Amino acid sequence: MTTTEGVEVVVSEFQPLPWTSDLSVSVRVIDDEHKVLLSVYNDLVGSIEHRDPKSVADKVVKELYGYTKYHFGHEEEMMSKLGYPELDEHRRQHAGFVNRIAEIQKHVDGGQANLASLAEFVQKWIVGHIMVTDKKLGAFLKDKLPDGDFEFDAPAMGVVP
């Protein structure tokens, strides 16, 4: 373990996560937003590999926080408008992730973030959430949105709002 610019760095075996069809929930708008989340995760992995944590940690955690709130808002809007029966549980999972990222931001602000732990948490959460919870949502939405499109109250974005 090394400390660089006050941020604990653990050499890890984290690899970027490529987008694969296994991660698709078969709803284009959700898949497009999941690709952005994977990109942010991959930036985090890159910051660990390049041992430049302080310059990237704050940016990545803020992107994760902002983009997940944005993305979760989209998912929750779709679930609410289309009558998804597991909306409350899905919202609870989203809130847990956002709260954990907010806690991590406090550690980053204090120069005490462990980027390997952050990457491990994000990797497990994103992949686990997509592969289980969002796949169930995708199956529900696929019938309701055959073309994969949805009219959001807020305009769709490909970057952190």
Quote the percentage of the chain above a pLDDT of 70: 78
**pTM for the predicted model, two decimal places:** 0.81
Backbone φ and ψ of 2, nearest 5°: -130, 155
Q: For 25-68, what is each residue's pLDDT tens digit?
A: 988 889 999 999 999 888 888 777 666 566 677 788 888 899 99
Contact 32, 25 (CB under 8 A): no
Q: For 107-130, what is each residue's pLDDT tens digit?
A: 887 877 677 788 888 888 888 999
3 state DSSP class of 132: helix
Q: For 81-92, what is each residue's pLDDT tens digit?
A: 999 999 999 999
Question: Given 1.10.645.10, 1.20.120.50, 3.30.1360.120, 3.40.50.2300, which CATH number is that of 33-144?
Answer: 1.20.120.50
Cite the DSSP H helix spans in the chain.
28-49, 53-82, 87-109, 115-128, 135-144
Q: Which amino acid makes up residue 12?
A: S
Nearest to 115 by CA among 66, 46, 67: 46
